[in-house]
A and B are shown apart, each in its own frame.
Chain A
């Protein structure tokens, strides 16, 4: 028997970094399954290639940096999965590998690894691919297209020149063209609710962002539900913006972040020629996070002083 002395507290919440990552991965399973259901084998192979290559790059960087293996904290697998979910189902697989290389090597490890990266690795990888290979990154297929002998290329419902009319119910179940994991609002919400229940997801960022999108759409005479369900809004709101490392830490910072993002995303959708700028907006805002946190700290201290008034001893 040996007695040990340590500072309090003497017990810890069993939920640590790797179990959080695992929970997020599990929360993404429904939307991945929906993607595979709608887009078939190509979607499945994109997901598998992405996750495996992310893990491989992580091992490679760990070896080069003489680090302990960090693949078991789950962050690399999560990056790979998130990247896969934002890619078109029929993208060539070597591009998936390339995108993961950019995500893991450049965006994550060149900045110092988990906890140090300024930009969301998965989204930066996606942006890298869409700048480098714009055509491949915008070749969408219709759901269940593989049952047809000929691939049918389709536009996303958000494209300005799109003539196809999609009902909100279709968007809800995900029965539309789009990236592997972003189409089914139902599956994303399922995962998000589970994360809320586990206490991993904080309402502030998705809540303020979705509310802003809703009211902006209302203000400009558009269908707010369509804007909430279409494109990557929900996947972005629940899984991309809320990435712990690249989102603000403070309560006020989070609210500001969500609101600003909502305004940015809606401005792109309404006034620019791009169909969807969610990934760009999020990565742009990632760069502003330190500023938002600074503002968040100042606001927090201010609010604290308001709530806890100094009582004068008489």
Chain B
């Protein structure tokens, strides 16, 4: 597979243009939506808490600009549905709320303080799964190994690559915090071997720690998938969550966010995303304020030029697992790893010729065609998309497996 490696990985991250109106969906994490704690017409500042976590699994949401709250209503969301969102009009003045810095060494800081900082900052898994990090860091069993995911296997994407090169210090502060909280025996940092600069910087930093190992991994999709990465680095095979085997995996961007939250008291209000794709003339990584609608990032698709462009697919995430967007008003959320603009191609599905490639390529030892046709092992699939990618008959295997998964879940728990 051509990973379109990743021209953007060698270019410095740019600051993204700030929009006039930002949209903050209340559901930017797995779990229950956050509760808004501001009213329409309120003035907010950069970093101000605008929606509070509610329920057991949830995360705080902060404003990334200063300005006025214009509405709390349904707005387009990356998964295609409409989600309750807070709209804020940007006054372009960027008044900040005071942020509490922390200078004590991490090793001497109480665990609860660190976890509270992470929870307050509203940090979720930035690799795309968006599990609230303070929940992930409170495991119900001792953790033997901590895995740091710097593999970033999706084609086109290079945001994690730039984070590792440009924010190494924050990444390692985050790792140190996670080590303090979880007290693992070993920490593995897995990096795909095409990111040579990231490897060198990370290795230099890792020298300070005894039990942190930076390990190069072959650049094969889906190297960065949690189960595959944990298997490569720790030789532990897990069915669903690495926690089963006493392993926790964190993304490098998440670590950087943890680092900034703990040392600077900085809530999660921006992230690095890759803006790329065959239909864009220039590809870069951008540091984007959360809540920025994608149309702000894609001036190339503005109305006067739009007529020249044909049918497009605008993706949030990579080409293998990303979500196609129906609207340019969809905002960047915490789990957005990139925005790709690709051409829209329709593939004609043919009869299965029984070549068995889906079975050969499956990274988690599932038989995709059987899972699609008969539902065998469907629940074990992690939807990496490799079977659909390689199917010469263009059978939408992942789609069918997803359907079977849902059917099986509904059968197990009626209503």
Chain A residues proximal to chain B, CB less than 8 Å: 1-13, 15-17, 19-20, 73, 113-116, 202, 244-245, 247-251, 254, 297, 300-301, 303-304, 307-311, 313-314
B359 proximal to A (CB < 8 A)? yes
Whether the Cβ atoms of A115 and B326 lie closer than 8 Å is no
Are B376 and A20 interface neighbours, CB within 8 A? no
Please indicate the chain B residues that have their CB under 8 angstroms from the CB of A116 in the complex: 351
Indicate if the CB atoms of B307 and A9 lie closer than 8 Å: no
Complex: A215 Cα to B354 Cα, angstroms: 29
Q: Which of A1, A6, A202, A247 has the most CB of B within 10 A?
A: A1
- How many A-B contacts at CB < 8 Å in the complex? 161
Q: Are B155 and A15 in contact (CB under 8 A)?
A: no
Tell me which residues across on chain B come within 8 A of A307, comparing CB atoms.
Answer: 237, 365
Nearest A residue to B355 via CB reads A244
Residue of A nearest to B1 (CB): A13
B43 within 8 A of A: no
B165 at the binding interface (Cβ < 8 Å):
no
Asked if B80 contacts A5 (CB within 8 A), the reply is yes
- Distance from B366 Cβ to chain A, minimum over Cβ atoms (Å): 8
* Residues of B with C-beta under 8 A to A311: 238-239, 244-245
How many chain B residues touch A (Cβ–Cβ < 8 Å)?
69
B309 within 8 A of A: yes
Which secondary structure dominates where chain B touches chain A? loop
Contact A6/B141 with A13-B1, A113-B351 known, Cβ cut-off 8 Å: no
Q: Mark B355-368, 1 if CB is under 8 A from A, else 0.
A: 11001100001110
- A73 to B311 alpha-carbon distance, docked (Å): 27
Point out the residue from A6, A11, A303, A313 that lies within 8 Å of B389, measured CB to CB.
Answer: A11
- Contact partner of B350 (CB less than 8 A), chosen from A2, A115, A251, is A115
Q: Are A10 and B238 in contact (CB under 8 A)?
A: no
Q: Is the CB of B350 within 8 A of A17?
A: yes
Which residues of A are found within 8 Å of B366, using beta-carbon distances? 304
Q: B residues 367-413 with Cβ under 8 Å of A?
A: 367, 369-370, 376-377, 380, 383, 385-386, 388-394, 396, 398-399, 402
User: Smallest CB-CB separation from A311: which chain B residue?
Assistant: B244
* Given A249-B356, A311-B238: A1 in contact with B141 (beta carbons within 8 A): no
Q: Are A12 and B389 in touch, CB under 8 angstroms?
A: yes
Bound together, the chains give a CA A2 to CA B310 distance in angstroms of: 7
For B367, give its contact among A2, A73, A300 (CB under 8 Å).
A300
A residues within 8 A CB of B354? 115, 244-245, 247, 249
Contact A9:B320 (CB < 8 A) given known A313-B140, A313-B244: yes
In contact, B365 and A304 (Cβ under 8 angstroms): yes
Q: How far is the CA of A169 from the CA of B366 in the complex (A)?
A: 44
Contacts of B359 in A (CB 8 A): 249-251
| Max chain B Cβ within 10 angstroms of own Cβ: one of A11, A115, A309, A314 | A11
Q: Which of A1, A9, A248 contacts B321 (CB 8 A)?
A: A9
Is there an interface contact between A10 and B324, defined as CB atoms closer than 8 Å?
Answer: yes
Question: Bound complex: CA of A72 vs CA of B351, how far in Å?
Answer: 15
- Note all chain B residues with C-beta closer than 8 A to A4: 311-313, 324, 344
Contact between A10 and B367, CB atoms less than 8 A apart: no
In the complex where A202-B360, A244-B355, A249-B359 touch, is A1 in contact with B389 (Cβ < 8 A)? no
Interface residues as binary, B319-353 with A (CB distance below 8 Å gives 1, 0 otherwise): 11111111110000000000010101101001111
- Say yes or no: is B315 at the interface (Cβ < 8 Å to chain A): yes
Q: Which of A73, A116, A247, A249 has the most CB of B within 10 A?
A: A249
CA distance A2 to B346 in the complex (A): 14
| Contact (A3, B312) CB under 8 Å given A244-B353, A250-B367 | yes
Q: B389, A13: Cβ atoms under 8 Å?
A: yes
Say whether B307 contacts A5, CB under 8 Å.
no
Our pick among B319, B356, B360, B377 for the contact of A304 (Cβ within 8 Å) is B377
Q: How far is the CB of A304 from chain B (nearest CB, A)?
A: 6
- Compute how far the CA of A124 lies from the CA of B388 in the bound complex, rounded to whole angstroms: 32
10 contacts between A and B (CB under 8 A): A2-B311, A3-B313, A6-B324, A7-B402, A8-B383, A8-B398, A202-B360, A249-B369, A304-B365, A311-B244
Instruction: Establish whether residues A15 and B141, one from each chain, have CB atoms under 8 Å apart when the complex forms.
Output: no
Select B325's contact among A5, A13, A310, beta carbons within 8 Å.
A5
| Inter-subunit contact A6/B367 (CB<8 Å) | no
* Also in contact, A308 and B347, with CB within 8 A (given A1-B301, A297-B367): no
Q: Mark B211-222, 1 if CB is under 8 A from A, else 0.
A: 000000000000
Closest to B278 in A: A11
Interface residue B248 (Cβ < 8 Å from any Cβ of A) = no
Return chain B residues, CB-CB under 8 Å to A115.
Answer: 350-354, 393
B114 at the interface (CB under 8 A from A): no
The answer on a CB contact under 8 Å between A1 and B309 is yes
Q: Which 5 A-B pairs have the closest CB atoms?
A: A115-B351, A311-B244, A9-B385, A1-B306, A4-B344
